[in-house]
Amino acid sequence: MQSLAGKVAVITGANSGIGRALAELLATEGCHLALADINTDNLQSIALDLRQHGARVSCHQLDVADRTAVFAFANTVLADHGSAQLIINNAGVAVSQTIAELSYTDFEWLMGINFWGVVHGTKAFLPHLQKNNEGHIVNVSSIFGIIGMPTQGAYNASKFAVRGFTEALRQELSTSKITVSCVHPGGIKTNIARSARFYQGIGGQRDACRAAADFEKLARTSPEQAARVIVDGIKAKRPRILIGSDARLLDWIQRALPASYPKVLAKLLRKN
């Protein structure tokens, strides 16, 4: 997919952060857009701005954890836009808690959005892409889909699952003209930390406001920068898209020291 002009892009989690930045950038690339989020506070104003670029934009309230709703959403998008070529499963949430104390309620809530939301979005649109033998599926994992971290067991589980699911899908579609990419952002300046279900952070920290502030200090990449890296990756048909110098460094550490990287990370965290 070298040129994006005229393509229909579907973006979940489009109300803010990377999703919103992607919508804005893809509109300038000539895409038409189907924007979805469970929180639609900003979607209409976003759509109004994007239509000034000539984009055809539809807005949808959607809980990606609800399989029936996602399949209905796909049918609506295809009816409204006539097609869809770029599927970006971006919606995500966070829970910070030790595995010993993590509740099943929080675990299931997070997996429903972070993992099952990706599965639902992929399977809802995949038959359409296969029928036309074209398109690009972009699933957003995380650097935490490459490394494990204490108090991030649920988030790690979901993002490792997205990575495995996406890599298997890529192999299954390797003889088709459908491209599959897995995105691994590092620290991005979004609202995910402030909207997380926060109970206990690294080092036993329990102050949610302080933890969110600390995350923002470590987050080195803006949503706009992340969107540019993703769009460039889409154009280049990259199977794996790492975002940020922190993500590239941590990926390198994990590959170089697969058994002992936690010790290195612990030292880096103490320095910060």
Which residues participate in catalysis according to the annotation?
155
Token code pair at residue 17: 């952060």
Q: Where is 182: in which H helix or E strand?
A: strand 178-185
258-262 own/partner pairs: CB under 8 Å, 24+ apart: 261/147, 262/148
Using DSSP's 3-state secondary structure scheme, residue 4 falls into coil
Token code pair at residue 133: 């033998």
Q: In what order do the strands lie in the sheet with 178-185?
A: 57-61, 32-37, 8-12, 86-89, 135-140, 178-185, 240-243
Token code pair at residue 20: 């919103």
| 24 vs 239: CA distance, rounded Å | 23
Q: Where is 11: in which H helix or E strand?
A: strand 8-12
Give the distance, in angstroms, between the CA of residue 10 and the centroid of all CA atoms in the same chain. 13
At residue 55, φ and ψ (nearest 5 deg) are -80, 145
Q: How far is CA 56 from CA 50, 122, 186, 234, 260, in A?
A: 8, 22, 31, 20, 50
